[in-house]
Amino acid sequence: MKRTVAQLADGRDIIYFDEADSAVRDLVDHRELPPRPPASQLRHDPLVDEWVAVAAHRQSRTFLPPSDECPLCPSRGGRLTEVPASDYDVVVFENRFPAFSEGTGRCEVVCFTADHDASFASLPPRRVRTVIDALADRTAELSADPAAAQVFCFENRGVEIGVTLHHPHGQIFAYPFLPPRTQRMLAAARAHATRTGGRNLYTDVLAAERAAGERVVAENPHWTAYVPAAARWPYEVHLAPHRQVPDLPALTSEERDAFGPLYLDLLRRFDALFGVPEPTPYISAWHQAPVREDRGLGYLHLQLYTIRRAPGKLKYLAGSESAMGVFINDVPPEAAAAALREA
């Protein structure tokens, strides 16, 4: 893989990850871009002791443009996009409308393919490996920033969960604080370690799921995919390596190669679940250990879930979920696992 770093017209970084070592990325971004927006604010909510990002400039962000105005496509036929190249494999650049920026974190966009009409599920395994290498590269580099507390790689897919650009892409956030959910995970892992003389919580949960087998959807020698016993979402799968590692950079080459086929299989099962032509909306979220503290309490894994509970029906986060944090799941996890195995 060849890695090339360049800058966009307004000074943002762009990094190409090319599968061919012969790739040359020397085109200059000739657009006249407005100055970068002011940094977003971090505000502290005293009632729950949590941080909220206020990013007013995002209200004017690009919203579901037609495909011939897609800013994530390569620059072709005289149309200049966010990517000053006529083609690319995987490319990462700083978000033009970031939720976090300049001293309060960083937001990057990762394009999985130059093909506007593709989806992650349609990528070849080789490309998935390139994406994983790119995410590992970004995690390592962003983790080196003393202001970063956690690096979060994720994909939102589908207008049903608010995607504003159709081109297949994910995002990478470097948070300047530990997110509330990570805090809860670390507290639970710490309590478990205390109770058990130092055992890793996720290691024990994964071993129990593999032993039970009832909720396992798919596995290979390096990874297991299962529906957690207390799943929050109608169809939710956790995909974990068999070896405790804190983050993506710590995965071996074999583990990275083994991830793609299993994940692609899972995504295709998600799309086949409901027997409808519309692809299944999903959130795919990599949980990594914090950048500095409590590295040994973490355990890299992916949480993949859809908000669709039936054809034409979505799971909404209404009063109980959004005000109280209590999830109500209408699909028993064992039934979800069976449906995914059969899909």
Active site residues: 169
Q: Provide, rounded to whole angstroms, the least separation between the CB of residue 284 and a copy of itself.
A: 8
Q: Name the DSSP class of 39.
A: P
Interaction between residue 176 and a copy of itself (CB under 8 A)? no
Q: Which of 31, 44, 199, 341 binds a copy of itself (CB under 8 A)?
A: 44
Site size for a copy of itself (CB under 8 A): 76
Q: Which of residues 191-210 bind a copy of itself (CB under 8 A)?
A: 191-192, 201-202, 205
Relative to beta strand 301-306, strand 282-287 is antiparallel
DSSP state string for 297-317 = G---EEEEEESEEETTEE---
User: Which residue's entry shows tokens 């003389």?
Assistant: 197
Q: Which of residues 238-277 bind a copy of itself (CB under 8 A)?
A: none
Q: Name the DSSP class of 68.
A: G
Asked if 29 and 12 count as a contact pair (C-beta separation under 8 A), the reply is no
Strands (E), 133-197: 150-157, 169-175
CA proximity to 120, closest of 281, 300, 286, 2: 281
Q: Which of 114, 135, 309, 337 binds a copy of itself (CB under 8 A)?
A: 309
Q: Is 120 exposed, middle or buried (0-12, 13-18, 19+ CB in 10 A)?
A: buried
**Closer residue to a copy of itself, CB minimum distance, 275 or 319:** 319
Interaction between residue 124 and a copy of itself (CB under 8 A)? no
Interaction between residue 317 and a copy of itself (CB under 8 A)? yes
User: Which residue's entry shows tokens 């004017």?
Assistant: 60
Pairwise CA distance, residues 78 & 82, whole Å: 13
Interaction between residue 75 and a copy of itself (CB under 8 A)? no
Q: Which of 91, 131, 132, 231 binds a copy of itself (CB under 8 A)?
A: 231
Mark the segment that binds a copy of itself (CB under 8 A) among 3-11, 241-249, 251-259, 283-291: 283-291
Interaction between residue 175 and a copy of itself (CB under 8 A)? yes
Interaction between residue 161 and a copy of itself (CB under 8 A)? yes
Interaction between residue 173 and a copy of itself (CB under 8 A)? yes
Instruction: Name 298's Cβ contacts closer than 8 Å, sequence gap at least 6.
Output: 185, 186, 189, 202, 246, 247, 287, 288, 289, 290
Instruction: Name 1's Cβ contacts closer than 8 Å, sequence gap at least 6.
Output: 17, 18, 19, 21, 130, 133
**Closer residue to a copy of itself, CB minimum distance, 102 or 254:** 102
Mark the segment that binds a copy of itself (CB under 8 A) among 3-11, 240-248, 267-275, 302-310: 302-310
Q: Which of 70, 147, 331, 338 binds a copy of itself (CB under 8 A)?
A: 331
Interaction between residue 5 and a copy of itself (CB under 8 A)? no
Interaction between residue 53 and a copy of itself (CB under 8 A)? yes
Interaction between residue 59 and a copy of itself (CB under 8 A)? yes
Q: Which of residues 85-114 bind a copy of itself (CB under 8 A)?
A: 99
Q: Provide, rounded to whole angstroms, the least separation between the CB of residue 250 and a copy of itself.
A: 19
**Closer residue to a copy of itself, CB minimum distance, 130 or 306:** 306
Interaction between residue 142 and a copy of itself (CB under 8 A)? no
Mark the segment that binds a copy of itself (CB under 8 A) among 43-51, 66-74, 253-261, 263-271: 43-51
User: Which residue's entry shows tokens 């908000």?
Assistant: 307
Pairwise CA distance, residues 195 & 118, whole Å: 47
CA proximity to 132, closest of 73, 88, 89, 95: 89
